[in-house]
Chains A and B, each alone.
Chain A
Amino acid sequence: DVKVTQSSRYLVKRTGEKVFLECVQDMDHENMFWYRQDPGLGLRLIYFSYDVKMKEKGDIPEGYSVSREKKERFSLILESASTNQTSMYLCACTEGGYGYTFGSGTRLTVV
């Protein structure tokens, strides 16, 4: 089974800081995703990537960017963190089938 690792479980950042959230998978899966989870809103797709250097906007890409230089690593970047980006961030990957494998999540607090 694939393992998805998110580098930080908890992060506290200041408003205006540039923030990097890292995600690594160990099975060479092509498709990787970044979601954020907020109470009452469920999981909302920020960005996804279906190959190295390829990226597609999800439903809420504003204020975020991504980087995928290697197949196993997909980074989410908050260019200038704001308090409304305080959330749980979840990375996922899939080989192309129907099931996603998620990481444990990063809880980001922007103060």
Chain B
Amino acid sequence: DQQVKQNSPSLSVQEGRISILNCDYTNSMFDYFLWYKKYPAEGPTFLISISSIKDKNEDGRFTVFLNKSAKHLSLHIVPSQPGDSAVYFCAASAIWRGAQKLVFGQGTRLTINP
């Protein structure tokens, strides 16, 4: 039962254009959402997050949008740069036995073409 889904395994975008990565979730108990970026042979690194009480969070070229009624979030990268080429994981947080437990999506491989 995949509680967090990224339905696009891959995405290819021209340099300078906007990249939009999507994520859907099923559990309404999730209260915080995060995006991680992963390069090959490295661990994931935190990119941006959003609380369930907000609908938008912006950090430089990265913006995350949350639509709670649709249980959908998206990551916008603008303008896209070659260094953005990586796998992006969406994650949702729930507290379980006092620990924050993250549930991850399958990942989307983003390729930025020069």
Contact = CB atoms under 8 A, between A and B. Distances in A.
Interface of A: 4, 9, 30-31, 35, 40-45, 48, 50, 56, 90, 92, 94, 96-105, 107
A48 B100 CA distance: 10
Interface residues of B, number: 28
A104 B93 contact: no
B104 interface: yes
Contacts, number: 65
Contacts of B6: 42
Nearest to B108: A42
A98 B100 contact: yes
Contact of B104 (A4, A30, A42, A98): A42
Nearest to B32: A98
A48 B104 CA distance: 15
Interface string B5-38: 0100100000000000000000000001010100
A43 B89 contact: yes
A48 B45 contact: no
Contacts of A98: 32, 34, 49, 93, 100
B89 A42 contact: yes
Contact of B49 (A45, A99, A101, A102): A99
A102 B43 contact: yes
B99 A42 contact: no
A97 B106 contact: no
Given A41-B106, A90-B43, A98-B34, 9 more contacts: A9-B41, A31-B99, A35-B104, A40-B106, A42-B4, A44-B104, A56-B99, A90-B44, A100-B46
